[in-house]
Amino acid sequence: MSILTRDEILKAIDRGEIKIDPFTPQAVGPASVDLRLDRKFRVFRKLHKVYDVVEAANYEEVTDYIEVDDKFLLLPGESVLGITTEKITLAPDICGWLEGRSRFARIGLAVHVTAGFMQPGISNQQVLEINNSSPIAMALIPGTFICQFIFQRCIGNAVYKGRFATQYKP
């Protein structure tokens, strides 16, 4: 199981093992591809009740879907669900990791709270669990290269067919 470098990412794209739509060649780094923030968000409702964390938990029960034109204001301590502009499609022998970018982590912005692993065979946009852990308000601007995707070759083949296999909104 090896992490793909720039040359291997580009070869995998040429072979159709990795598809990125839309693809920006300048977004390919030494061992990852930068992905942009889309204009779609899910905002957490201010509920005054306890929400049970169980297998059947449904984020749509506690969030509202919105689309923004120019920016989304994320206040200190708040979380929001966002999504990448790019749709990633992986071959059955490639998986990946969604990571933040250090320039944003250094100002207190986390782009995925816990769910950074992407299964082999996915074909979807990546949901971002964005959290502002700083004491300052932050304007999230669609089109910003906000995260990076790291590709890894698997031993064997598998295809994720779960609940979020084809997600296109947060």
For residue range 94-106, list pLDDT tens digits in order. 999 999 999 999 9
Distance from the Cα of residue 130 to its chain's centroid = 9
Residue 129 annotated among the catalytic residues of the structure: yes
Q: Which of 26, 6, 39, 34 is closest to 146 using CA atoms?
A: 34
Q: How confident is the model at residue 162 (pLDDT cuts 50, 70, 90)?
A: low
Q: Is the Cβ–Cβ distance between 90 and 120 less than 8 Å? A: yes
Mean pLDDT value across residues 136-165:
88
* Tokens found for residue 134: 């700083």
Domains of the chain by start residue, with CATH: 6-153 (2.70.40.10)
- Choose, from 55, 78, 86, 129, the residue flagged as catalytic: 129
What confidence tier does 37 reach under pLDDT thresholds 50, 70, 90?
very high
* Cα–Cα dist 128/130, whole Å: 6
Per the DSSP assignment, residues forming a β-bridge with 3 are 152
Q: With 90 as the cut, is the pLDDT of residue 126 above it?
A: yes
Retrieve residue 116's tokens: 């950074």
Helix, coil or strand: residue 19: strand
Task: Report d(CA 161, CA 7) in Å as an integer.
Answer: 29
Mean pLDDT for the stretch of residues 142-150: 98
Q: Report how far Cα 81 is from the mean position of its chain's Cα atoms.
A: 9
Residue among 81, 107, 99, 114 at smallest CA distance from 146:
99
Q: Which two tokens stand for residue 97?
A: 């990791």
